[in-house]
C-alpha cells in the first residue's frame, strides 16, 4: 500500500450570527490576517451587496475558521465577506448600489431602525470550524476552497 502523508483534520459546522462574529473581532478572538490571503479589496458597492444579502437572509457562502491552540480563531476563507459585514456594523461606510432594498442606499448601520439592526445582527453565517490545523493545512484549505474548476 502506498505511504500517504495524511493528517486527519477535525471540523464542525456552526452558524454564527453577525453579532457573535463582531464580539469575536472586538475581543481579538478572531484574526483575519493570514499570509496566504489577499488584503481587503471590496469596494463599498460590493460590500453593500454582502450587507443586503445578510439583511435578506440570502446565503453568503460558507466561511472557514481555524481554532488555534490558544483558543483564538483565525479566518482561513471568507475574509472579504466578513470584513464587509464588520465594516458596515462599525459604521465605516453607507450602503450603496442596492437594488432590492434600495430605500437603504445612503444609510449607515446606525441609521437603521431597531428591527433592521436586529435582523442584521442575528443573520446567521454558515461556518466550518477546523480544529488546530497547521499553517500548511490552513493554506491548502484556502487554496482548494478558492480553486476554480473549469
Task: Give pLDDT, residue 10.
Answer: 86
pLDDT lower than 50: segments of the chain:
1, 4, 149-150
Task: Give pLDDT, residue 111.
Answer: 99
pTM attached to this predicted model:
0.84
Q: Delimit the domains of the chain by residue range.
A: 12-132
Task: Give pLDDT, residue 150.
Answer: 41
C-beta separation of 82 from 32 below 8 A: yes
What CATH number does the domain located at 12-132 have? 3.90.1530
Task: Give pLDDT, residue 56.
Answer: 98
Amino acid at each position: 500500500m502506498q505511504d500517504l502523508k495524511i493528517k486527519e483534520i477535525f471540523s464542525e459546522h456552526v452558524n454564527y450570527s453577525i453579532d457573535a462574529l463582531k464580539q469575536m473581532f472586538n475581543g481579538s478572538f478572531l484574526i483575519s490576517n493570514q499570509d496566504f490571503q489577499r488584503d481587503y479589496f471590496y469596494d463599498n458597492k460590493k460590500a453593500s451587496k454582502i450587507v443586503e444579502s445578510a439583511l435578506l437572509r440570502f446565503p453568503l457562502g460558507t466561511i472557514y475558521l481555524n481554532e488555534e491552540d490558544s483558543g483564538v480563531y483565525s479566518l482561513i476563507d471568507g475574509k472579504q465577506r466578513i470584513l464587509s459585514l464588520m465594516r458596515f456594523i462599525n459604521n465605516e461606510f453607507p450602503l450603496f448600489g442596492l437594488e432590492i432594498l434600495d430605500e437603504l442606499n445612503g444609510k449607515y448601520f446606525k441609521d437603521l431602525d431597531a428591527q433592521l439592526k436586529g435582523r442584521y445582527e442575528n443573520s446567521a453565517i454558515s461556518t466550518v470550524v477546523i480544529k488546530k490545523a497547521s499553517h500548511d493545512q490552513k493554506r491548502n484549505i484556502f487554496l482548494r476552497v478558492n480553486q476554480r474548476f473549469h
